[in-house]
């Protein structure tokens, strides 16, 4: 069997910490839906990784695991081809994490830009857990347990995927060539600005439009978003480059955005009209997503999808572990993988 796969493989996923938002959509969800049939696709619901910060609230996971799965299905992920699975139910990921942690240095993790930024956000700089510092190693195991080739992620995750690439190279060079070096892929909109104008949409800041928001939520949020503060009168010339709404026009209304930019600068479109158009555009995007969600929301549907996906993931993990044990000469009782 070796390392041969009929199709190249995608592995990506999310931490189940609450509903996914438009930032997730442009960063990763859109790519995973677009590529799901071209690649053999695995989607991880990373419950163990959630515990790297939320270890004191495991009781939220049960609902959040299902919520994140539903978000993925609602954007158009096809459960007949993509395999959505629960991280903690695939034991081979935990096994690989242990083996990888033997050769990844603490320094590499401490200097990882994503770890540094997130440690700052959570106030962990001076006192972080072993699991938090090591989450990129665990994420390398998430990606490599199925020997993935491509990892669609938001821009903030690129340094973490870099650890997976290093892990694959290092393992192959130390033991035997088992893993492809996974490539990362970010969305066209690298990062979506928050409704309050902050650098990014983030659940903890509460400046997000969620995929599951109602038409009323969308309206209220968009109409109260931060724009160019210099525009007081409708015909004041605007500065679209500093306006949150304009960045959404570029992300979700690409065709009209050059025209809006021109009219904003000339003071011939008012912010209210511009925002109303944005409300329509976002509703056109989220309306079908809301409808698909309702279809998957029937009792038992999500659970069945997760259980089937998890079973497939465990099978694939078994194949990888056979190769890993062989490469590391720890297949003591079945040398050669018999
Ligand atoms: N760290 C990712 C996030 O916070 C979630 C994740 C866990 C992931 N394991 C992964 C993403 C593997 C891509 C590949 O969004
Ligand atoms: Fe922003 Fe639109 Fe107002 Fe210009 S017209 S400042 S792009 S909301």
pLDDT tens for the chain, 338 residues: list them. 445 678 999 999 999 999 999 999 999 999 999 999 999 999 999 999 999 999 999 999 999 999 999 999 999 999 999 999 999 999 999 999 999 999 999 999 999 999 999 999 999 988 999 999 999 999 999 999 999 999 999 999 999 999 999 999 999 999 999 999 999 999 988 789 999 998 899 888 899 999 999 999 999 999 999 999 989 888 899 999 999 999 999 999 999 999 999 999 999 999 999 999 999 999 999 999 999 999 999 999 999 999 999 999 999 999 999 999 999 999 999 876 54
Residue 202 included in any domain = no
Instruction: Please report the DSSP string for 76-130 in residue order.
Output: T--TTTSEEEEGGG-HHHHHHHHHHHTTS-HHHHHT-HHHHHHHHHHT-TTS--H
For ligand 1, atom 13: residue with the closest CA: 12
Whether residues 224 and 139 share a domain: the answer is no
- The answer, yes or no, to whether any atom of ligand 1 lies below 6 A from the CB of 14, is yes
- The answer, yes or no, to whether any atom of ligand 1 lies below 6 A from the CB of 87, is no
For ligand 2, atom 4: residue with the closest CA: 264
- Ligand 2 centroid to residue 245 C-alpha, Å: 6
- The answer, yes or no, to whether any atom of ligand 1 lies below 6 A from the CB of 13, is yes
- How far is it, in rounded angstroms, from Cα 238 to Cα 262? 9
User: 144 is in which domain, residue-wise?
Assistant: 9-191+299-328
- The answer, yes or no, to whether any atom of ligand 1 lies below 6 A from the CB of 157, is yes
Q: Say if residue 168 is exposed, middle or buried (CB neighbours under 10 Å; 0-12, 13-18, 19+).
A: buried
| Neighbouring-strand partners of residue 14 | 45
What's the CATH code of the domain at 179? Answer: 3.40.50.620
Whether residues 229 and 150 share a domain: the answer is no
- Non-local CB neighbours of 324 within 8 Å, separated by 6+ positions: 96, 99, 175, 178
Cβ atoms of 141 and 160 closer than 8 Å: no
- The answer, yes or no, to whether any atom of ligand 1 lies below 6 A from the CB of 49, is yes
Q: What pTM, to 2 d.p., does this model score? A: 0.95
- Ligand 2 centroid to residue 228 C-alpha, Å: 7
Residue 1 included in any domain = no
- How far is it, in rounded angstroms, from Cα 250 to Cα 256? 8
Ligand 2, CB cutoff 6 Å, lining residues? 227-228, 231, 238, 240, 243, 245-246, 260, 264, 269, 271, 274-275
- The answer, yes or no, to whether any atom of ligand 1 lies below 6 A from the CB of 46, is yes
Looking at all shown ligands, the one closest to residue 266's CA atom is: 2
Whether residues 289 and 310 share a domain: the answer is no
Whether residues 61 and 137 share a domain: the answer is yes
């Amino acid at each position: 069997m070796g390392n041969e796969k009929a199709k190249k493989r995608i592995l990506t996923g999310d931490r189940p910490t609450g509903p996914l938002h438009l930032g997730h959509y442009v960063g990763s969800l859109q790519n995973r839906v677009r590529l799901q049939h071209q690649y053999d696709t695995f989607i991880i619901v990373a419950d163990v990784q959630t515990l790297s910060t939320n270890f004191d609230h495991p009781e939220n996971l049960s609902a959040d695991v299902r919520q994140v799965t539903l978000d993925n299905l609602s954007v158009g992920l096809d459960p007949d081809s993509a395999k959505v699975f629960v991280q903690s139910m695939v034991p081979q990921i935990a096994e690989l994490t242990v083996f990888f942690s033997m050769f990844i240095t603490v320094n590499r993790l401490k200097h990882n830009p994503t770890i540094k930024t997130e440690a700052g956000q959570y106030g962990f700089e001076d006192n972080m857990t072993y699991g938090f510092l090591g989450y990129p190693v665990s994420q390398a195991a998430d990606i490599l347990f199925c020997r993935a080739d491509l990892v669609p992620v938001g821009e903030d995750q690129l340094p973490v995927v870099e650890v997976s690439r290093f892990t694959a190279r290092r393992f192959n060079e130390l033991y035997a060539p088992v893993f492809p070096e996974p490539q990362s892929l970010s969305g066209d909109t690298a990062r979506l600005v928050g409704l309050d104008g902050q650098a990014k949409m983030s659940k903890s800041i509460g400046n997000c439009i969620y995929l599951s928001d109602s038409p009323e939520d969308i309206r209220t949020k968009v109409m109260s978003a931060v724009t160019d503060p210099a525009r007081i009168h409708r015909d004041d010339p605007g500065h679209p480059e500093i306006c949150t709404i304009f960045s959404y026009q570029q992300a979700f209304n690409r065709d009209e955005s050059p025209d809006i930019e021109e009219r904003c600068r000339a003071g011939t479109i008012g912010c209210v009209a511009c925002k109303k158009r944005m409300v329509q555009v976002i509703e056109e995007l989220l309306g079908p997503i809301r409808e698909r969600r309702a279809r998957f929301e029937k009792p038992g549907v999500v659970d069945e999808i997760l259980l089937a996906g998890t079973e497939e993931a465990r099978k694939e993990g078994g194949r990888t572990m056979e190769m890993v044990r062989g490469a590391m000469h720890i297949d003591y009782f079945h040398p050669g993988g018999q």
